[in-house]
Homo-oligomer: A and B are copies of this chain.
Amino acid sequence: MKRALAFVALCLVSTLAHADEGMWLFNRPPAKQIKEGYGFELTPAWLEHLQKSAVRISTGGSGSLVSKDGLVMTNHHVGSDKIAELSTKERDLLKDGFHAKTLAEELKCPNIEMDVLWTIEDVTAQVEATAKPGMSNAQKSAARRAKMTELESEAKKASGLKCEIVTLWQGARYHLYSYKTWDDVRLVFAPEKAIAFFGGDTDNFEFPRYDLDVCFFRIYENGKPLQAEHHLEWSANGSTEGDLVFVAGHPGRTERLFTMSHLEYMRDFQYPLAMRTLWRREVLLSTFMGRSEENRRVGEDEYFGVQNSRKARTGIFAGLLDPTFMGQKFRTELELRSAVAANPDWSAKWGDGWDLIAQSKKIQREMAVRFGALGGGGMGLGGDLFAKAVTIVRWADESQKPDGQRLREYRSTAKDSIERSLYSEAPIYIDLEVERMASSLQNMAELLGGGDPTVVRVLAGKGPGPRAEELVRGSKLADIAERKRLFEGGAAALADCNDPLIQLARMLDAESRLQRKRFEEEVDPLEKEGYSKVAASIFALKGEDQYPDATFTLRLTHGTVKGYEAGGKKIAPYTNFAGLYERANERGNVYPFEVPSSWVKARAALNPSTPFNFVSTNDIIGGNSGSPVVNKAGQVVGLIFDGNIESLVLDIGYDDKQARAVSVDSRAIAESLLKVYSASALHAELMGGRAGG
């Protein structure tokens, strides 16, 4: 190991984790690092309190409980699809904002779940025990999947909690996470999108920023505000430059431990395909939105989501295409492989790990386009209605099988979530559904070729546009009662169902399953086997005090409030209210730099030097949106809502020179609630009061 390290030192590349690196597991916190680096002790009680105040939101973001009465704080952009769903042609809550002055005015959200992580248990031994020697990799993989479903089911029965086994280290560890979960969630407050997303796509992933990217929901239990066992207090004074701050949230997915062959696969196959899809969707939505004011409202939320993904992926892709970055990755891998090769025992046990992964990627390259075109396990065509058709068709089959033999997402423990999603009252916009379907039909034809037998069957003698019209407008699935009838009726109800989307899902089902089977038998087991060996060699070399790649589960990160340099300029860590008005003025106060009228009116009342947004070195990525930023006392000092452009590469590797997490300052939230929105009851609740003031 020493030699390897020396080699790396010669290459001027450090393999040591940077000071504030790490998205740590709550059951394996970076206590030592923080003690050594900051002289602060992470106690079990401190950790439990933060863990049980952190919220995972089913729409793909993070939040935190911030009052005794179940108030949840998250980002406006995390809540925005719900805000959009609660909007109508007459009442545009994204544009105008929303404020429930009483509990009675709070708006119930369709199809949302909020989870709080309650317990973590390492079940690696039980899962691994089912993978017997002599089994093929595919058999091991199937055995593990079956065991995971079984363990989840047992745990749910025992605790009544929502239970999910999380695959860590790409398969080297399995942890059983049990969640308290709620689905009665109501919208309490949202500012106007113009201030929540001031600067729009232009300033997204940039700093300095001036965004009030916050909204509040409330969890209800048995029709009453949740009496939360834990919630975060509001800091009286906020933060100061140099402060140690923590973030508890749910980073979505990182690829830091990926091997070179895997990164190359991402670079040469996965990302080019993904970028193409994002460009297509961005153009489609922009065109759709241009057609009318109503289309603009309907498409806006998805449009910003696509722009956000496109920008994020562009940043990651830039990292993959950066020879310096890839060179570092190569040298780090070489170091590890050399260390393994130098130890005969390790070499025998783990030496082929990298080759197994490379082999899995080779197979994946062969099947990537077709697999992608068929939806990578789903069915690859667009729109909410088709997704519901797929759920109905697959549930009819899967629900007849024992749990261990089902596709994972259709296991019996998932039924509640499936039903909630299927029967959601969220509006479905038929015109947009047609566009999505047409675009996805064209996409399938592009990927597979217009003469491909599947494409020919799917198009059924029509071009993508007319075929999409026929499929979407001919379907009755927009009617919740019809979805319910088919879902509950199962195979019998489907047998004589002539709904065109149901028929399409049935037509694609077999081939899609074949593709997925191939992936699950030929690619995934090789990859998991490979990574468990790579992880084992990392543990042997460096100990288990590591953090695994992100998995949209709860992680703890630490960092300091700190500016940085970019383009030769020093960038201060805080912006303030005065800066907002300056930036708007500089851009002619036109969209997306238009200050909403509420903020124009309140300008005189606001303290211009109140900190608005700030940056810190916390190791965060997408999925962390809406995470609370807390001080050493565990009090809220900020709300994560973005990373700067230099942080996008964090998906594949940490850097603290320029990469920064971007937060709304708690002081800006408190002051604007009082002075811009006259939300004194909400403000009082945050300061320790009860719901309703």
Contact = CB atoms under 8 A, between A and B. Distances in A.
Contact of A446 (B272, B290, B459): B272
Given A202-B291, A451-B264, A318 B279 contact: no
Contacts of A325: 463
A282 interface: yes
A465 B315 CA distance: 10
Contact of A465 (B280, B318, B450, B456): B318
A487 interface: no
A293 interface: yes
Nearest to A451: B264
B310 A267 contact: no
Contact of A324 (B264, B287, B461, B587): B461
A641 interface: no
Interface in A467-495: none
Interface residues of A, number: 49
A64 B283 CA distance: 35
A318 B464 contact: yes
A181 interface: no
Contacts of A200: 290
A112 to B, nearest CB: 30
B267 A588 contact: no
Interface string A319-362: 11111111000000000000000000000000000000000000
A226 interface: no
A287 B282 CA distance: 11
B268 A202 contact: no
A462 interface: yes
Contacts of A310: 283
Given A279-B280, A323-B462, A463-B318, A450 B202 contact: no
Contacts of A461: 323-324
Interface string A271-297: 110011001101100110011110000
A445 B321 contact: yes
Contacts of A463: 318-319, 321-325
Interface in A165-196: none
A552 interface: no
Contacts of A279: 276, 279-280, 282-283
Contacts of A326: 450
A275 B465 contact: no
A449 interface: yes
A445 B464 CA distance: 30
Given A264-B450, A317-B442, A451-B268, A456 B323 contact: yes
A293 B202 CA distance: 12
A114 to B, nearest CB: 34
A201 interface: yes
B280 A321 contact: no
| Copies of this chain present | 2
A318 B267 CA distance: 30
Nearest to A287: B201
Contacts of A264: 449-451
A650 B470 CA distance: 24
A643 to B, nearest CB: 17
Contacts of A465: 318
Interface string A288-318: 0011110000000000000000100000011
A591 to B, nearest CB: 10
A235 to B, nearest CB: 35
A53 B287 CA distance: 38
Interface centre among A271, A279, A292, A465 (most CB of B within 10 A): A279
B321 A450 contact: yes
Nearest to A325: B463
A588 B293 contact: yes
Interface in A533-562: none
Given A264-B451, A463-B322, A463-B323, A446 B287 contact: no
A640 B291 CA distance: 24
A326 B449 CA distance: 13
A320 to B, nearest CB: 7
Nearest to A268: B449
A461 B323 CA distance: 5
Contact of A283 (B282, B292, B447, B462): B282
B290 A201 contact: yes
A156 to B, nearest CB: 44
Interface string A415-453: 000000000000000000000000000100111011100
A645 to B, nearest CB: 10
A323 B445 CA distance: 12
Contact of A320 (B283, B290, B450, B587): B450
A448 B193 CA distance: 41
A620 to B, nearest CB: 22
Contacts of A447: 272
Given A268-B451, A291-B202, A442-B317, A459 B282 contact: no
A587 B290 CA distance: 10
A461 B326 CA distance: 10
A465 B276 CA distance: 19
Complex A-B, nearest 7 residue pairs according to Cβ-Cβ distance, in ascending order: A279-B279, A322-B463, A272-B446, A202-B290, A268-B449, A267-B450, A323-B461
8 contacts: A264-B451, A267-B450, A268-B446, A268-B449, A272-B447, A276-B279, A318-B442, A322-B463
Given A267-B450, A275-B446, A321-B445, 5 more contacts: A201-B287, A201-B290, A267-B445, A279-B279, A279-B282
Interface of A: 200-202, 264, 267-268, 271-272, 275-276, 279-280, 282-283, 286-287, 290-293, 310, 317-326, 442, 445-447, 449-451, 456, 459, 461-466, 587-588, 592
